[in-house]
Amino acid sequence: MTAFAFILGVVPLMKASGAGAGAQNVMGTGVFWGMLVATGLGVFIIPGNYTFIEGLGRRRRAKASQPVVVLPRKRWFMRDQC
């Protein structure tokens, strides 16, 4: 929420007019998009990656805890019984 307040707080820099407006517009635009991307990464991408990796670990643990059944190998000298 703080990040969104900051992002909305730099909107006047993007819309500035008058003396020094060119520098303020450029700085405001850079800060606005930089914070927007950083916030998007922090809110959506990082937790999504964590959830994905956690799911992989759970599947791996579940697979490892299943009992392994070893069947006897068929020998070449044994005949099929029909």
CA distance linking residue 40 with residue 47, whole number of Å: 11
What pLDDT, on a 0 to 100 scale, did the predictor assign at position 80? Answer: 59
pLDDT digits (tens, 9 = 90+) for 5-31: 999 999 998 888 888 888 889 999 999
Asked if residues 37 and 9 have their Cβ atoms less than 8 Å apart, the reply is: no
Residue 16, Cβ neighbours under 10 Å: how many? 16
Give the global pTM.
Answer: 0.60
pLDDT score of 81 more than 80: no
CA distance linking residue 46 with residue 6, whole number of Å: 21
Residue 6, Cβ neighbours under 10 Å: how many? 13
